[in-house]
Amino acid sequence: MWWLAGVLVGVEVVVCVLSDLGSGIGDHPAGGALLTAAYLIPGLLVAARARRGEPAWVFLAAGMIGSAGGDLYSFLWVRNIHPEPLATWADALWLAFYPAFAVALVLLLRRRLPRLGATAWLDGVIAATAVAALVSLPVLAAVEPAPHSTTLGVVVNAAYPLCDIAVTGSLLGAWALCGWRPDRVLGLLIAGMGLFAAADTITLMMLWQGVEAPHSLDLLWIAGLLVLAAAAWQPARRRETGQPNIWLSTAVPAGLAVVSLGLLIFAVLSDRSVETVSSVLAATAVTAAIIRMMASVRTAEQLGAARRMARTDELTGLANRRHFIERLDGELAATDGPLAVAFLDLDRFKEVNDSFGHDVGDSLLRLVGARLRDAVRGPVLLARLGGDEFALLMPGMGRDDAAAVVNRMLSALREPFLLPEVDLHVDASIGIAVRPDDGADRSTLLRRADVAMYAAKHGHGGPVFATGLDDHARARLTTLEELRAGLDRDELVLHYQPKVTVGPERRVVGVEALVRWQHPVRGLVYPDAFLPTAESADLMGRITGAVLDLACRQSRAWHDQGLDVPVAVNLSVSNLRDPAFPDQVAALLERYRLPASALELEVTESVLMTDADNALQRLGTLRDMGVRLAVDDYGTGYSSLGYLQVLPADDLKLDRAFVSRCGTDPRSAAIVHSTVQLAHSLGMRIVAEGVEDEEILDRLREYGCDYAQGYGIARPQNAETATAWLAAHAAVTAAPAHR
């Protein structure tokens, strides 16, 4: 249909030109039919587009086809009336186009626009009223009714430019509502209605002056209608959700407001009269611009405050982690010169929280932040990264300058902090990394500073520089990351060491599960090489969970082979702090269909010392489930004997330090003998660790010891070897759950 429209427009151009040259073809029925077809085709094109389900184009098509009907009515009946009336039924069809277009525009905006803010609405008001004021000024000034005009004729014919003014202003307002972003559909709608408004305005002005409009003026209307049809046929695009064009969204409303203000000044200072409608519209635009400026200033203040809050630590008022990282990245990019980064961590801060509460801890952090801020000089940036950890960025500083800064910080912290509840002294551990010695990028500098801080915390000898550290700290971090990955890849394995009775028959009463790490490069790694690192990184919960699962799985396999062997697993502090740990154990026993007596859990005295109340509560819950409990490495800690009085334990495992020397050292022998008697008097069984030979085993039998384990009985073995060993010692006797 587009090719037909092109042909009709070309023919219409020829007809209009010939008509204006006096050929009379414009008044011929054929010329009128061509003109009506040229008006109708754009409406049909929009109607064809509306069939694809866009409601906006339905209304636009209805308005355009109705307008073409007005042209047909005018050609068939109105042109034969002399003089031609100023208001006819054709005007009703032509004017109906405007409300139809308005509905189409509203529907388009509803589909295309996200939720609008106040600024977008103000931009729309500014654009609509300012453009309407400017367009109305020449139009209304030129309005002068012809002598034969009637009131209806004046109203009807004045409605055309007024509607054009309203539509033009609305289109500019719609563009403003869209954030002044380029939009092909809106651009074509604005262009089409601009041509339409120009034709209406020229026709009206000629009509009021009693001049007959040329036939070529029809080409403006037809061109406008074709541009509207082109807008309807633009391909559907996803709704724009990006930010508005900042230059247009600022410059266009400001420019329109300035022009409107100029119009008002002209109306006041000039002797020439300005239409009231134009003045009111211009005043509305200026008022909206003032309100928008006030809203923009308020928004800028809020954004500034939000930006400051986003880059400031709420508790101390110092820079936060985001600000620190941004500044560090900026300094690294700005220069290749020296730069130092330091991490400062308060020592024993957790004890403050645990002893006096978090409110006191927060008060202490505020005081620490204020005192450190007072000690900062020059370009140094002080930030709180979180918790009790602070950071220093020292641009342009090498080792000596950085050492001076951090020593000044430590000196500032030595004075006591006066709190309402208590006066506290605070120590801090500081690690420093310097560019370029310790790295040239952010990640390396921060990692090395953290390593140095960790070394300072364990050395207690003042600030520590990352430069020159031995490989121990880096190896610790490497081990930690590899261990995390190993846990994800199920690289932990268990070796099992049997426990037997001390009597001559040596009946097997269980095995102890000992964790190993099957490293893909380093081979079999023993626990002393990775468990301390895991403990400091809060990984013991995951490790114990994996060990329990492996132990229960192996116990199930042994039960299926007729070997009812209880398996002992060592617990850590984190396990007994976890309220859900007993439920975790119960779920594993249920999953592997094991009785509670198939599992024994071992805890050390140091675990009990760390969090005695929670530990006793968790252990009581586990014992009530039927799980056997044992105190491991007894005699190496500093716990009170009072713990043994309340501890819900079944077994007491005497440390190898005493057992291995009981045959040669009278003091060790006395400790072993008395501990056996103590355990029996408390209703516990005694397990001797570190049995290396028959002589020690005979001595333990003499003391009345219950069970023994050690290299003299069997070394820790992998699951396959342990299974063969157990099968060879088939007389397995499980110890009773409780005495």
Q: Tell me which of 22-31, 234-243, 334-343 is least confident.
A: 22-31
Q: 254 vs 327, which has greater pLDDT?
A: 327
pLDDT average, residue stretch 243-267? 61
Distances, alpha carbon 203 to alpha carbons 53, 78, 191, 716, in Å: 36, 17, 18, 106
**Whole-model pTM?**
0.46
Which pLDDT belongs to residue 86?
61
Q: Is the pLDDT of residue 659 over 80?
A: yes
Q: Is the pLDDT of residue 19 over 60?
A: no
Residues 6 or more apart from 136 whose CB is under 8 A from it?
161, 162, 165, 275, 277, 278, 281
Which pLDDT belongs to residue 598?
93
What is the tens place of the pLDDT at every residue in 670-687? 988 998 998 898 889 999
Which pLDDT belongs to residue 558?
94
Q: Is the pLDDT of residue 304 over 70?
A: no
Name the β-bridge partners of 178: none
Which pLDDT belongs to residue 460?
55
pLDDT average, residue stretch 408-432? 82
Averaging pLDDT over each range in 626-635, 708-717, 726-735, which range is the top one?
708-717
Q: Is the pLDDT of residue 176 over 60?
A: yes
- In 3-state terms, what secondary structure has residue 512? strand
Identity of the amino acid at 627: V
Averaging pLDDT over each range in 478-487, 698-707, 725-734, which range is the top one?
698-707
Architecture of the domain whose range is 321-469: 2-Layer Sandwich (3.30)
Strands (E), 1-144: none
Q: How far apart are CA 76 and CA 651, in angstroms?
A: 114
Which pLDDT belongs to residue 24?
47
Q: Is the pLDDT of residue 739 over 60?
A: no
Tell me: cis bond preceding 83? Omega within 30 of 0 counts.
yes
pLDDT average, residue stretch 308-326? 81
Pairing of strands 492-501, 523-525: unpaired
DSSP, residue by residue, 690-717: ---SHHHHHHHHHHT--EEESTTT---E
What is the residue whose two structure tokens read 């000629």? 206
For residue 316, count other CB atoms closer than 10 A to its CB: 21
Q: Is the pLDDT of residue 74 over 60?
A: yes
Architecture of the domain whose range is 479-728: Alpha-Beta Barrel (3.20)
Closest CA to 445 of 383, 369, 391: 391
CA angle (566 as vertex; 563, 572 as ends), nearest 5: 150
Alpha helices in 347-492 (DSSP H): 349-356, 358-375, 399-414, 442-459, 471-488
Q: Is the pLDDT of residue 241 over 50?
A: no
CA atoms within 13 A on the CB side of 665: 10
Which pLDDT belongs to residue 738?
45
Note whether 556 and 522 are within 8 A (CB).
Answer: no
Percent of the chain having pLDDT more than 90? 16
Which pLDDT belongs to residue 113?
60
Q: Is the pLDDT of residue 420 over 80?
A: no
Q: Is the pLDDT of residue 21 over 50?
A: no
Q: How confident is the model at residue 120 (pLDDT cuts 50, 70, 90)?
A: low
Note whether 19 and 31 are within 8 A (CB).
Answer: yes
Which pLDDT belongs to residue 231?
80
Q: 439 vs 343, which has greater pLDDT?
A: 343
Q: Is the pLDDT of residue 336 over 80?
A: yes
Q: 403 vs 220, which has greater pLDDT?
A: 403
pLDDT average, residue stretch 554-573? 91
What are the tokens at 610? Answer: 């760390």
545-575 as b/e: b if 16+ CB within 10 A: bbbbbbbbbbbbebbeeebbbbbbbbbbbbb
CA angle (623 as vertex; 621, 625 as ends), nearest 5: 75
Query: Quick one: how many helices (H) and strands (E) in the chain?
Result: 28, 17
Q: 338 vs 30, which has greater pLDDT?
A: 338
pLDDT average, residue stretch 427-436? 87
Distances, alpha carbon 305 to alpha carbons 297, 320, 730, in Å: 12, 15, 76
* Residue-range domain boundaries for the chain: 2-236+243-293, 321-469, 479-728
Alpha helices in 240-344 (DSSP H): 246-269, 276-310, 321-334
- If you count them, how many residues does the chain have? 739
Closest CA to 285 of 297, 273, 274, 293: 293
Which pLDDT belongs to residue 575?
83
Q: 88 vs 472, which has greater pLDDT?
A: 88
Distances, alpha carbon 543 to alpha carbons 2, 520, 549, 690, in Å: 74, 18, 10, 25
What is the tens place of the pLDDT at every residue in 140-162? 555 555 555 566 665 666 666 66
Q: 560 vs 122, which has greater pLDDT?
A: 560
Q: Is the pLDDT of residue 237 over 60?
A: no
Q: How confident is the model at residue 547 (pLDDT cuts 50, 70, 90)?
A: very high
Q: Tell me which of 157-166, 439-448, 617-626, 646-655 is least confident.
A: 157-166
Which pLDDT belongs to residue 543?
92
- In 3-state terms, what secondary structure has residue 116? coil
Which pLDDT belongs to residue 58?
84
Q: 23 vs 561, which has greater pLDDT?
A: 561
Which pLDDT belongs to residue 608?
64
DSSP, residue by residue, 24-65: -GGGSHHHHHHHHHHHHHHHHHHHHHHTTS-HHHHHHHHHHH
What is the residue whose two structure tokens read 């932040």? 369
Average pLDDT, the chain: 77
Percent of the chain having pLDDT more than 70? 66
Q: Is the pLDDT of residue 114 over 80?
A: no
